[in-house]
Structure 1
Amino acid sequence: MTTKEIATRLAELCQQGQYEAAQKELYADDVVSIEPYATPDFDKETKGLSNILEKGHKFESMVEAFHSSKVSEPLVTGNSIAFILSMDVTMKGKDRMTFDEICVYQVKDGKVVSEQFFM
């Protein structure tokens, strides 16, 4: 797949809330995920597809309700993809909240090799 094709598919799956499906289909086994900062719940950097899938399960277990999500049209240049992800969620034990983040991906050999999030 080209970077543009990956961007389109990634945005499509994320818009549908199918994050794990996107990761399994589009990510390399040695992918790296970088969060804006380390928290008690998540490390700043996670390496490997299986660890990233586990991180996703952990995040989902912390959510009481997903109300909506929106993904902007992806921007593509060279081997880089970026889009804005907006989520409206209620975390367990907390008030409902909306957050936006810029998601940046690097592609190599037809697979996502890194993801980084900016809030």
Structure 2
Amino acid sequence: MTTQELAVKLANYCREGQFETVMKEMFADDVVSIEPYPTPGFEKETKGKEACFAKAELFNSMVQEVHSIAVSEPLVAENTIAFTLDMELTMKERGRTKMNELCVYTVKDGKITAEQFFY
């Protein structure tokens, strides 16, 4: 699968809220996930597919309801994919909130080896 094909599939999965499918199908075993800064319960950097699953489970446990998800068309340059992700969620501890982030992925041999979020 080319990086362009992977980008289209990735963006579509994210639009559908299928983030677990992304991790199962597209993440390399040694994937690295990078947040802008550490927050309670989340390190700045998470290494490995299993650790990323645990991070996602923790985030999902804090979400009460997903109201909307919007993903821009992906941009592709060589082995890099980028798109914006806008979500409106009700968080159990914070109430309804809007999240807007830039998601950047690095691809090698048809798998995502790194993801980094900017917000």
- State TM-score, norm by structure 2: 0.98
Aligned residues: 119
User: In the TM superposition, what is the alpha-carbon distance from 1:40 to its structure 2 partner?
Assistant: 1.4
- How far did residue 48 of structure 1 move? 0.4
What stretches of structure 1 move > 4 A for 4+ residues in a row? none
* Maintained 8 Å contact 2:103/2:117: yes
Q: Does 1:84 align with 2:84?
A: yes
Q: Tell me the alpha carbon deviations over residues 38-62 of structure 1, each in whole angstroms, 9 at most, x when there is no partner.
A: 0111000000001101100100000
Sequence identity (%): 56
Name 2:32's counterpart in structure 1. 32
Secondary structure in 2 aligned to 1:68?
strand
Task: Provide the secondary structure at the position in 2 that maps to 1:17.
Answer: coil
Aligned to 2:70: 70
The equivalent of 2:118 in structure 1 is: 118
Amino acid at match of 1:38: P
Rounded Cα–Cα distance in structure 1 between residues aligned with 2:4 and 2:101: 20
For 1:15 and 1:60, the matched residues in 2 are separated by 16
The 3-state SS of whatever aligns with 1:96 is strand
CA RMSD of aligned residues (A): 0.6
Q: Note the alpha carbon deviations across 1:81-117, whole angstroms, 9 max, x for none.
A: 0000000001003221111000000001110000000
Q: Give the structure 2 partner of residue 22 of structure 1.
A: 22
Any gaps of 5 or more consecutive residues in structure 1? none
Q: Which residue of 1 aligns with 2:97?
A: 97
What's the secondary structure of 1:50's corresponding residue? helix
Task: Extract unaligned runs of 5+ from structure 2.
Answer: none
